[in-house]
Structure 1
């Protein structure tokens, strides 16, 4: 999605940056994992196909993707950005007739970062971005029935289970963004900073005197 191609979002423990070509090799390595393929219902792609996918996601009007970075590692300018990658988070505008409905998807690809509340922070950050920048009024999350950790996380964020599909073995959870939800979300994310991504990258590359 063009809207976020020069946007970075800085939270307490993570930084969200646009999914760029330089992130593809690491992302491609992640997606060789049978576990991640199962959790994300994804088919393995060649590296070339992964580059094509990255480009299409950048251009598509209905997909908004950020790469999740470890903020502590990222603030060390000697560490390359690709080495800070933890996972990714997406908003899909799935209904052409209703642009206020969005599907939310998050992947913490690095096992050492799971179970530490990072997924919860990232989800809140992405919801805040979706509400304020994309006009989202209802979020959906479709999760495999065997991914109990993700189901529990979304329920802790007050998503409600609305249906179970036995054929696809997934559960659908939803949250409607009314005024109280919006207010709470903006309050919770008051410390989140939106920055110019190109400027941030430039600052990281400049030697510290």
Structure 2
């Protein structure tokens, strides 16, 4: 989405930067891992297809994507590629049943040594807060669709006060939702204080 092409979001442990063409080769290496593809419900793409996907994510009005950097690694040598640990996305759509504006959230910590360190939690909170601050997106709620076996992600979003609304056995998928209410926004403000800078 062009909304975030010049936006960098800084947390304490992570930095979110727009997904650029230079990030694609490492991202493509991540997605050659069959387990990661299963957990993220992703298809295997060629490198050329991955570049095309990156361009689509940059240009489409219904997708918001950031690459997650380990802030400590990035501070050491200012190399985004070596500091890449994952990505976070929002897919925007209108709920046909309720006419609500929905952002479907995704988070992936791809580097094995970066897991279990709180990067995914902070990065997702930064993304949720950034999207909630964009009043022109007119979001009513966030939702996630998670593989039933992905207990780490299920627990993560439950800790964000998302609640299960559907379970589809044929897709092996659980849907959790979080309406954007004044109470929840107040809770979110207590969890994370993003610094938004030009990229």
Aligned partners of 2:89 and 2:107 also within 8 Å:
yes
- How far apart, in 2, do the equivalents of 1:94 and 1:150 lie? 22
| Structure 1 residue aligned with 2:131 | 130
Aligned counterpart, 1:103: 104
Equivalent-residue separation in structure 2 for 1:137 and 1:70 (angstroms)? 30
Number of aligned residues = 195
In structure 2, how many angstroms separate the alpha carbons of the residues matched to 1:148 and 1:185? Answer: 22
- Superposed, 1:85-164 pairs within 5 Å as 85-95=84-94, 98=99, 100-133=101-134, 134-164=137-167
TM superposition score normalised by structure 2: 0.94
1:105 to partner: Cα distance: 0.4
Q: CA deviation at 1:96?
A: 7.3
Task: Point out 4+ residue stretches in structure 1 off by more than 6 angstroms.
Answer: none
Instruction: Provide, for residues 62-99 of structure 1, a one-character-per-residue CA deviation record: whole Å limited to 9, x for no partner.
Output: 000000000001112x3421111000000100327657
The DSSP-based 3-state class of the residue aligned with 2:189 is: helix
Match of 1:2 in 2: 2
- Compare CA radii of gyration and give the structure with the larger one: 1
Maintained 8 Å contact 1:131/1:137: no
Structure 1 residue 117: Cα displacement: 1.7
Tell me how far apart the structure 1 counterparts of residues 51 and 170 of structure 2 sit (CA, whole Å). 31
TM-score (norm 1): 0.89
- 1:43 aligns to what? 43
1:93–1:99: 8 Å Cα contact kept in structure 2? no
How far has the Cα of 1:181 moved from its partner? 0.8
Aligned 8 A contact 1:141 1:174 in 2: yes
Aligned CA RMSD, in angstroms, stands at 1.3
